Structures are given as structure tokens and as C-alpha cells.
Structure 1
Amino acid sequence: MTHESSASPLIFGGAAQSPRAALPVLPPLALYIHIPWCVRKCPYCDFNSHTASPVLPEEEYVDALLADLDQDLHAVYGRELSSIFFGGGTPSLFSAAALGRLLKGVEQRIAFASDIEITLEANPGTFEQDKFVAYRALGINRLSIGIQSFQEEKLKALGRIHNGDEAVRAAGMARQAGFDNFNLDLMHGLPDQSLDDALNDLRTAIALKPTHLSWYQLTLEPNTVFWNQPPVLPEDDTLWDIQEAGQALLAEHGYAQYEVSAYAQPGKPARHNLNYWSFGDFIGIGAGAHGKLSHPDGRIVRTWKTRLPKDYLNPAKSFRAGEKALSNDELPFDFLMNALRLTAGVESRLYPERTGLPLESLAEGRREAEQSGLLQVEPSRLAATERGQLFLNDLLQTFLS
């Protein structure tokens, strides 16, 4: 499991109702495919992942994924996919043959953009050179490798199944397999981590020359082992020092921060995740997957699928666990909690284009956020200030009144 592809709905209330227009243009469309199995569940992980049995039900699960997709096709007729993201869990546990059958089935149902980005999450403990050459031959053109740390004691504390040497080798094997675009997933603020520890991890990652780095702080999430048995984490002053020094180091080596925890070489941001953050559309298939689809009449619907793999594979149960059409009250926050994660924000015109609501519906919250120094005073953009990025929750709260 890596951090890169998380997307889930938030609920908003309290804004004044505004008329909603039909959407002039539908946003880009992506596909998220959830593979829910891992070799071992990590103690910090709150994603929908489950310990794999010795034999995975690959064929049955691919059949289910395609059947799941079939039920969503009516809502995306005539559109094409700009990106696909295999998340998990650990999608690289699946064979190239299974993923190949799945991709072929998807392409038979929805057209692929000529420059489609197809990302696969992988963990170093599941790297096999032949397998990754085969993945590349399928058209998968981007990897996201879950490193988290290169230091043995930190990996052990995080419950990871790989060691530091395997992590280094994984990046080399990715490049040898033909992947010239790959992300490394790295955590900081780890148990007993010092500033030097954190910077050494970053230096090791940078030396491997990934095109993208997801670098984010370990947080203790409910329903995890760490939540119930919290480890000793660094003091706030150390966390702040790590954040400042790490961002400076990344910038020095050409990694521009374009989102809260995402850093990329020029031209290499994660297109799939940019689509999430700019309020694009995505189909979600697989156990526990979330989706968001816009309709020409202005309806915007969030969906979520049956969470447990055994239920998802049960023909007697529905793939779809629920859906919710976002109300006018919910849309402003739902849009902004994504868009304001981007360091450059988004063009103001995107708000009416993607929500069907007039830009004036944000006017009161916008004035308050600008006066508080949390939102840039820039009519053509919706973008947080540096202070707003540090206090994103406070910034979002200004749009709740």
C-alpha cells in the first residue's frame, strides 16, 4: 500500500443554496482499480487492505472488476480515460497475465486517451524483474513504489516486509524494466526519527532519481494498530525542522512541491492525482473503491463499492454499497478541499465549470479567507497562501459559514 492514490468523499453543509447550471463541459475521466490484498497489513495503514492467502483469486477478481465496470458504463458513454491507477493493497501481487486481461477488458469498454497514464502501486518486497518487464509491456507506464524508509529499524517499526537494500534495488529494477516515470513513497515523522534520519532517507531517495516523490508525515489513524498502541513519535519542533529542511532539500534537487505531500521533476506530476485535486471525474472499481461522476444535467454523484473482498466476490451481493448526489450545500467544500491542496491552486473558472455553481457563491468565504491571510488575493485563481497551506483546515472552515 502506498499513500499516493487516496481519494474519499467529505460532507459539507451550511452554505446558502445557489442555482446550479448544467455543466458546459464534462471534466477529464480517470479509472481507479483497487486490489485489496497485501502480504502483511502494516500497523499504520487505514486503507482497505487485507492479508493475502497463499493463492489469490486473480481470475475471479478480474471477472468481478469487469462486471463492476459494466455497471458504471452507462454514466460515461462516449468519454475516454485520461489515466488509470492500480491502488491497494499491493497490486503488484497480481500476475502480469491477470492485469493484462483486465486492461484489455477495460479498453474494450472505454477508449483510452492516446497519452494515457497508467500507474501501478508496488512494494519492494514484491519486485521481480521479469514481472515488471511484463507489466511495462502491457502499457503500464508509471510505477509508485512504497518505500516509506530505507533504514532497517524504521522499516521494522512500520511493519514493512522489505529492507533498505531491497528498496534501493527496486528503483533500479523499475528503470531497467523500462519505467522512466516512477514515484517513490516516503514517510517522515517516524518513531524515534531524528532530523538527520529523515534527511538521510530523502537523500537516498533523491539519489535514485525518481521523477516524483510522495513525502508525507506519519499520522495515527483510527482503526489501526498504531492508533491503539501508539509509538513514540518525534516532538513537534523536530517535525517542523524535518518539514522545513526536507522541502529545501527537495527544491534544491529540482523537485517542485505542487501539492501538500507531492513533489515532482518538471513535467512529471501525477496526472491521475491532479485529476482528483482539480475535481475531475473517476470511476472506482474493486473492493471499497470510491468514484465521482459528473452528469451533463449538473448532477455530481459520489459512489462507493462493497468493502470486504469476500462480499465483493459474492454474486449474491451488489458491487455498489452506496451513492450520494452532492447537494449545492456540499459542493463548495467538496471542490475546495481538493483544489486548495494544490500549491498553485486552480483557475477560478474551474469552480463554475466543475460544480455548475456561480463563482459568486464563494464570495463571502473568499473575502474572509483573504482578510485572514489564508487565501491569495488573486481574482483569476483560487489558491492558498503559504500560511493557508499550513492551516488548510482553518482555510476550509471559512467556507462553512
Structure 2
Amino acid sequence: MRTAVVVGAGIGGLAVAGALARTGWRVTLLEREDRVRSDGTALVLWPNGVRALRALGLGAGLEAIATPVSHTGVRRPDGQWLVQPRPQPEDRAPVVVHREDLHDALIAGLGEQAEIRTGVTVKGLRPAVDRPAADRPAVTIGRGVVEADLVVAADGVYSALRPALAPGSSVVSSGCSAWRAVIPWYRAPQLAAGQVGGEILGAGYRFVSASLGERGSAGGSSRGGIYWVATAAGASRPEPPATQLTLLRRWFAGWPAPVGELLAATEPADLVQQEVRELRPLPPAYGFPVGPGGVVLLGDAAHAMPHHLGQGACLAFEDAATLCALVRDTVPGPALVAAVESYSRLRRPRAVAMVRQTRRMAAVLSARGRLALRARDATLGTISPRLMGSVAATAAQWQPPPS
């Protein structure tokens, strides 16, 4: 039987492990933490991410938990519209899902052919140069190794496997930190679902919110509530969550609704802080033939980028769908090696294009100082729709390769 080792049980690792298992691969999923878990926030998925999940066989589960994002306008902190909200074509409209709902769907999709091993620290790859060419790839865990025909490095921005494959790629700060939370509707009784949603841009600050269903019901999510993301320039904060929440309320004081209401309704335990990091430069390849199989990079291990365009998870699902389509009917040997090489040829140009657009948006969002802000505000109404339209068009064009 064909075997695969997936390193990392995040959403990308779970997605690819389940899809491989459902197509006849025996999969071993290695996770460093003592259990496989998700944080209590949410995730915005653009149409390419939705299409990728459907290609992975998870479309029905996604429809049960997804809520369409209805508000996409952009305002300044004084409430003035920079980009008026406008309806989006159905094929370009994003959806929002609670991460725990998505996590549950991915776990349910693993099936019996996937074995999860938690508490396993992967040290690296068995050096191919020290082994006969016929040897299969393997990952080192302590004093032992785990061999497979295919190794998938889905272990995030600080991947333990990437240094052996792309030593020139470094993890660097994107110059900002983000805070996320989902709060239940009952904590914000003054807000209606129609008042929640959209984006507000300030001098080095950004606030985005989205509804997880209508008040009084869970909507598409079994958990429901209101999802928000606050971004601020600078490094992550070392203070306790209660102090971080106090800082957020100070930084965003006076911003238009629903910012103040959402921060007031947030409790310290709701906060999930993340220092935003990225890879520079991107790895030169994403697929590396080894013996009769190979190793591939997937998700943040391949193309970690700032969250400004919401494409990180979507690209991870694209990676998974592409890989699974390519290896579905292959066997170890020349066919699997060719599939690994094809994965790299298909995925790297796609990632390069999305990272380039993300960095363009980062330059717009990082404007600080009176003159820079005035210039940004004067041009954002033109730049943002064009850039977002380009992103939406690029995302909408993606299709999984035929299996």
C-alpha cells in the first residue's frame, strides 16, 4: 500500500491527510502538540479556498458551517467611506467559518486509513545525500525515523523540514501583530447582524469584523457569534491578555461602530494574539523527488505571508487539492516522482503571484504619517477595488487539476 507521512496537524495537514487516506493512501499524521486542537476564532475563505475544499471532498461539510460575508466596504477611523460597500458576484464572495467547526469537519474526514500520532517532535529529514538513491524519504523523530513514499511538510512557518529543502528561505517579521476573537451575540445586544462586517483602516491600524450567522441562531456555524481581527504595527505584546485587551481598547478608541462595541464585549480569554511573519524569499521549489517518491512543502511551510488578503488558508487548501489530484492514481516510482515535480511547477508560480499582491496591500496598509495617510486615503478608493478585484479574479480563476 502507498504510504504518506504528513507533518503538522493544522488545517492544511488535516485536509491533505484526509484526502490522501480517502484515495487509498495509508497516512501517518505527526503532530508536535499533545492533542490535535483548534483555537476558538474563525476563518474567512475566498472562493478558491471553498473550491479547493470541495475538490477535497469536503463541500457538504463546509456548506453546513459557512456563513456568507455580506459587508466588504472600507472606512476611515472617522467613519468616512474610503471604499463604498458593494455586492460581489456569487463566485467571488467569501464565507466565514468558525475554526472549531472547520476543524471538526477535517477530523471527521480523516477516516480509518489515517493514523494520528501526537506528542511527536520531528527533527528533520533523513539526508538524501547520505542514503542510496532507491531509499524512500523519511523524517527523523528523536533517535528513530518514519519512512514513507511521500512526505508532506505541513508544519507551519517554523517548519522543521523546510531548512533541509530550502535553506535560503528565512522567517521574518511582517512588521505587525494581529489579535482575533469570536464573541457570542448575547454580549453585544445592541448590534444587529447587518451592523457587523467590513473593514476600517487607520494609521498603522486595521479592524475587520464578520458575522457568524444571524442573532438568535447559529447561522451557518454551530457556534455562531461575531468574528473580529485587529491589526497593529509593531511586535507582539508580552503582557497578559487582560492588558493586551486594554491596549486594544485604547488604540481603537473613537473608531466607528462596531469596533468599540465588539472590544467592550470581548473578554481576555477570547483573545488570540499572533505576530505576523512571512517567508523571504520563498523556497525555490515546493516538490523534491527522493528515491521512488519525494517531499513536498504545503501551506505556511511553503508560502507564509501576511493575512491582509485572507489567502493563507485558501492557498493551503489549494496545495492539498492539487497534490491529492496529482498523486491520486500514482504508485511509487517514476509516476510519483513526476507528480511531485508537477506539484512544484503548479504551486510555486501561484504562491509567488499571491504573495506579490499581499505585499502590495501591506504597503497600502502600513502608511503612517499625515502626508502618507492623506495620499493613501486619496488613492485607496481607486487602488483598493483594483487590487481586491485582481485578487478576487486570480482566486476565482483557480481550478484543481483533473484527477
Q: Give the structure-1-normalised TM-score.
A: 0.29
